[in-house]
């Protein structure tokens, strides 16, 4: 993947993780990563429609997964797809936590561990500084 394509992904995302919405400026020691929404091992391509910007935590937990298990129903559910899905349709902020509003949202929050203690501490600090959301 060439640098021009990477830069287009960064610009489109506003330089923030398309899953948990953390901004690059808030994690200066870790660079946001261009990730394949559908992994190469599942025939995903280096195409703008299949690329998203992700923080290292979201990217690590998502890995090549396309689905997860909804913690409420126990059903296998597709994960949030940043190119097809609207963030506000599937998630909402409650304080410093990201809450899944739909089966897809709940599943993504759980699989990507969007509310782990490290992330909650960072968001609490950002909120105190007036820099969250």
- What's the CA angle centered on 120, arms 119 and 123, to 5 degrees? 85
Structural domain boundaries of the chain?
Answer: 3-128
Q: Which pLDDT band, with edges at 50, 70 and 90, does 133 fall under?
A: confident
Query: To the nearest 5 percent, what fractions of the chain are helix, strand and coil?
Result: 40, 20, 45
Q: What's the N-to-C CA distance of the chain in angstroms? A: 30
pLDDT tens column, 23-41 = 999 999 999 999 999 999 9
Share of the chain above pLDDT 90, in %: 95
Angstrom distance (rounded) from CA 118 to CA 23: 15
User: What separation in angstroms does the CA of 98 have from each of 11, 49, 77, 92, 119?
Assistant: 23, 25, 18, 6, 10
């Amino acid at each position: 993947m060439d640098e021009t394509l990477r830069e287009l992904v960064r610009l489109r995302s506003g330089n923030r993780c398309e899953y948990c919405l953390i901004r690059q400026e808030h994690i200066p020691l870790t660079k946001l990563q261009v990730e394949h929404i559908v992994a190469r091992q599942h025939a995903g391509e280096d195409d703008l429609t299949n690329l998203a910007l992700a923080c290292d935590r979201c990217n690590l937990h998502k890995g090549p997964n396309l689905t997860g298990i909804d913690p409420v129903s126990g059903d296998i559910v597709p994960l949030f797809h940043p190119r097809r899905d609207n963030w506000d349709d599937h998630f909402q902020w409650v304080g410093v936590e990201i809450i899944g509003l739909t089966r897809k949202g709940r599943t993504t929050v759980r699989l990507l561990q969007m509310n782990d203690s490290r992330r909650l501490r960072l968001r609490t600090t950002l909120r105190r500084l007036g820099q969250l959301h």
